[in-house]
Amino acid sequence: MKEKRILLIGTGGTIASEMGGSGLKPELTSEQLLRYIPDISNICETECIQLFSLDSTNIQPSHWVHIAATIQEHYREYDGFVVSHGTDTMAYTAAALSYLIQGIPKPIVLTGAQKPIGFETTDSKMNLRDAFTVATSDMPGVMLVFNGKIIMGTRARKTRSKSFEAFSSINYPLLGMVQDGRIIRYIRPESRAVPQFYGALDPKVALLKLVPGIDCGVAEYLLERNSALIIESFGVGGLPAYEAGNYYETVKRGLDTGKTVVMTTQVENEGSDLAVYHVGNSIKQNLPILEAYDMTTEAVTAKLMWILGQTKDPAWVAELFYTPIACDILAGN
């Protein structure tokens, strides 16, 4: 059997960090990472590209476009792709790549670590080995591989800040597990023969997390400065009605000026349902607001940036938003 060729794309993160006087900072290149795991050569043929060396806190939408463009440029040369990335915004990057690269029949695997690869106790080596194992498989699409879990790119979220069990799959089953170098597959994502690549995002998507008593002027300010506003409400979703300000009217004014507003929930599991309570049903019935249902906030953010990079037409925005892509939203909501 012909040995598979995998491209390792380095972006920085804890996995590539070294300790300095002011804390951990990404210093190692992707070539240097591979020197810590020479047995990868038994799995596949590897080549490396170092795109940037950033703490993932500093990753922006422009970096997502750069990663997608790099994969598009080298698509025909490789059988799969591994992206080493910092954990803090990896779920956002995984979601963004799911929209920028749709239907890809080859694996794109994001991974990272909670401890640098040079530390005596580290999860870096296992995560990288597992990522390459998945990248050489026939599992298609964008995935996040971490601590043995294989997670759909649109369903990943960092749920622990320090432990190796850092990521969870939200409102969707794991695609599989990697154990002792073997893949235990539960779900095989759908793909197309030829992927669709996109190269435009609108980064002007804001997120407002509601807290009791928050002034609606915050929402007004964000709507003025952005193309879209995601509101993380309480429970199954709704807008508060405070004496100090009217959220309903604030959102209505934003919608009337062509802005996009999405209602989601702060609750991690089970999603929103605006129809349940008056505070949600009144806006669902009377305003052209979009509802995230079971989508993660990371996926909502990336999807809106992708949609608004193509169109600002409200009807088209709504149609694209509710069209399932890479299992990001439950069909039929």
What is the CA angle 51-137-295, rounded to 5?
70
Neighbour tally for 52: CB within 10 Å: 14
Catalytic positions: 14
Contacts of 82 (CB under 8 A, 6+ apart): 6, 7, 8, 9, 109, 110, 111, 128, 131, 132, 135
Distances (CA, A) of 309 to 8, 303, 306: 28, 10, 5
Asked if 142 contacts 115 with a C-beta cutoff of 8 angstroms, the reply is: no
Burial tier of 190 (Cβ tally within 10 Å: 0-12, 13-18, 19+): exposed
Q: How far out from the chain centre does Cα 122 lie?
A: 24
Tracing tokens 């040369």 back to the chain, one arrives at 77
Burial tier of 239 (Cβ tally within 10 Å: 0-12, 13-18, 19+): buried
Of 102, 110, 31, the C-alpha closest to 72 is: 102
